[in-house]
């Protein structure tokens, strides 16, 4: 019973993270939503093991946590190459860039 309640709570938290990923105006909202969704998946898999009476699922959950961590680092690395001015929605024409430089 306790595990079922915890599972429902995590499912609600997953839906909340999904809402942030759908709506999230900025880029970092979405990265954070993806990361926290991965954490919820790890917790859910752990709980799934206890509900079905097979706690060996915990090992799988641990490996998921590692994958999630690495994926978030890999995603964030792509934005370290960005210019300090912030995100660019449109490609800047070369004439405009010359004036700034």
d(CA 95, CA 101): 10
Query: Quick one: which of 2, 56, 86, 99 contacts other proteins (CB under 8 A)?
Result: 56
Kind and range of the H or E run holding 16: helix 2-23
Q: Is residue 91 a contact residue for other proteins (CB under 8 A)?
A: yes
d(CA 35, CA 41): 10
d(CA 42, CA 47): 9
d(CA 66, CA 29): 21
Per CB under 8 A, which of residues 4..43 are in contact with other proteins?
4, 7, 11, 14-15, 18, 21-22, 24, 27, 30-31, 33-34, 37-38, 41
Question: Residues interacting with other proteins, by CB under 8 A?
Answer: 4, 7, 11, 14-15, 18, 21-22, 24, 27, 30-31, 33-34, 37-38, 41, 44-45, 48, 51-52, 54, 56-57, 60, 63-64, 67-68, 70-71, 74-75, 78, 81-83, 87-89, 91-92, 94, 97-98, 101
């Amino acid at each position: 019973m306790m595990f079922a309640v915890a599972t429902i709570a995590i499912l609600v938290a997953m839906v909340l993270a999904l809402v942030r990923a759908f709506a999230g105006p900025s880029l970092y909202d979405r990265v954070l939503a993806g990361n926290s969704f991965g954490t919820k998946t790890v917790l859910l898999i752990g709980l799934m093991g206890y509900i079905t009476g097979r706690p060996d699922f915990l090992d799988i959950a641990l490996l998921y946590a590692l994958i999630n961590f690495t994926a978030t680092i890999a995603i964030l690395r792509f934005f370290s190459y960005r210019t300090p001015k912030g995100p660019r929605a449109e490609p800047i024409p070369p004439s405009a860039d010359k004036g700034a430089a």
